[in-house]
Structure 1
Amino acid sequence: MSDVLPGGPETAPAPPPAKHGWLNFAIDFGPLLVFFLTYKFTSGGTGAFAATTGAIKGTVAFMVAIVIAMAVSKWKLGKISPMLWMSGVLVIGFGALTIWFHDERFIVMKPTIIYAAFAALLLGGYWFGKPMLKYLLQSALDGVTEQGWLLLSRNWGLFFAALGIANHVMYELIEAKRMSFDLWLTIKVWGVTALSFLFTLSQLPVMLKHGLAVPDEAALDKQA
């Protein structure tokens, strides 16, 4: 997820489009893509430790990329979202464990912990009537009502919980030698990214019902 969801009150002028939508996307998914590419290009050997060596190199590249992403976010967007902070801390922490123990399983475990943490935070907030997604994203969805944010928090909490369960199942399959690290990584980079995008689109009706503004044709003509 990123801070690129547009919004505003239905009775007020539509806000300008996000100027850094592509940058948000790069900050969110760039480090993971760096890891994927580094792993693919450095684990092509035939030795017993070829895949692990590629994973270690990919982990180092991932750690550097997430630090750069946080720096760019602060420089260009003026902030580092809580979600990016949490992801950065876990990437660096589990990356260090991966390098120290020379064990790629720590890479597979990390998403489960991230998803579980976000699910607990969002669903816990929903239980107590607090729209935690609004604070995590620090997004400029001024038009979305508190009820809308609360529903979005619940929905994303359930989505993260499902992702966490799915990732844990894949971790167990890898432990049982019934699934390869390569397949897990492909699913993580491409499958989860596509699934997250589709889930974001599925939440548009909720946002529209609870205050999301849509730019009118006149505004779009002026921007063109």
Structure 2
Amino acid sequence: MRKLLFDFFPIIIFFVIYKMYDIFTATFALIIATAIQLGYELIRYRKVSMMHIITFVLVLILGGATIYFHDEALIKWKVTIVNWLFGAIFIFSTYLMKKPIIQRLMEENIDLPYPIWKRLNNIWGLFFFFLGAINLVVAYYFSTNFWVDFKLFGMLGITLVFVIFQGIYLARHIDHKK
């Protein structure tokens, strides 16, 4: 639970500040919160996850541009770019790395045949592309207020449903004899 709160810390700060002020103040708070998250991770663990580095760089660039140009579309694109980037990394890892990323992340906890790891990795890649696309639909066809709510609650809900379906899929392939 602590890890989940740590990962969602910047998003929660963004959400709260947006509800109190506006998207530009919330974007500035997001930049600060992401920097704090990165600093804490570096001090606490002496290393920073690639996901947090990529997120921070995009928050800094697109968040800074959002504030500078006073254009909220730029911060909305950050969500899509991050998701599409992770989608591409997952799919490319299936074919360019010895082990797919999902296998590296989960193999200590579960044992699966290699073809299932590959399929699962590609499913995650496609899921990230889907999240990026749905973010653009919400960003361009709904209000900013709706987008902010969707960014926190909608994407979390979609991800939770996806993980449940992943669990059902994996249950068929896990060796229960161990």
- Specify if TM > 0.5: yes
Cα-to-partner distance string for 1:123-175 (whole Å, 9 max, x where unaligned): 2222446403355xxx46414447244233111111111111112222332xx
Give unmatched runs, 5+ long, in structure 1. 1-21, 43-53, 174-178, 215-224
2:43 equivalent to 1:95: no
How far 1:207 moved relative to its partner? 4.3
Q: How many residues align?
A: 174
SS at match of 2:47: coil
Give unmatched runs, 5+ long, in structure 2. none
How far 1:85 moved relative to its partner? 1.5
2:100 equivalent to 1:131: yes
Change (3 A) 1:201 1:117: same
Larger RCO (CA under 8 A, 6+ residues apart): 1
**Residue type at the aligned position of 1:131:** P
2: CA distance, partners of 1:212 / 1:86: 37
Indicate the residue corresponding to 1:163 in structure 2: 131
Equivalent residues in 2 for 1:194-209, closer than 5 Å:
194-208=157-171, 209=173
How far 1:77 moved relative to its partner? 4.3
1: CA distance, partners of 2:14 / 2:33: 8
Cα-to-partner distance string for 1:42-86 (whole Å, 9 max, x where unaligned): 1xxxxxxxxxxx111101111111111122223344532211211
Q: Larger % of helix: which?
A: 2
Equivalent residues in 2 for 1:6-155, closer than 5 Å:
22-42=1-21, 54-128=22-96, 130-134=99-103, 139=105, 141-142=107-108, 143-145=110-112, 147=114, 148-155=116-123
2: CA distance, partners of 1:149 / 1:71: 33
How far 1:36 moved relative to its partner? 0.6
Output the TM-score relative to the length of structure 1: 0.68
- The answer (yes or no) to whether the contact 1:144–1:212 under 8 Å persists in 2 is no
Please tell me whether Structure 1 or Structure 2 has the larger radius of gyration of its CA atoms: 1
Please say which of residues 163-172 and 204-213 is displaced more in the overlay.
204-213
Percent identity between the two aligned chains: 28
Change (3 A) 1:206 1:128: farther
Output the TM-score relative to the length of structure 2: 0.84
How far 1:23 moved relative to its partner? 2.3
SS at match of 2:119: helix
Cα-to-partner distance string for 1:82-136 (whole Å, 9 max, x where unaligned): 112111111111111111111111111111111111111112222446403355x
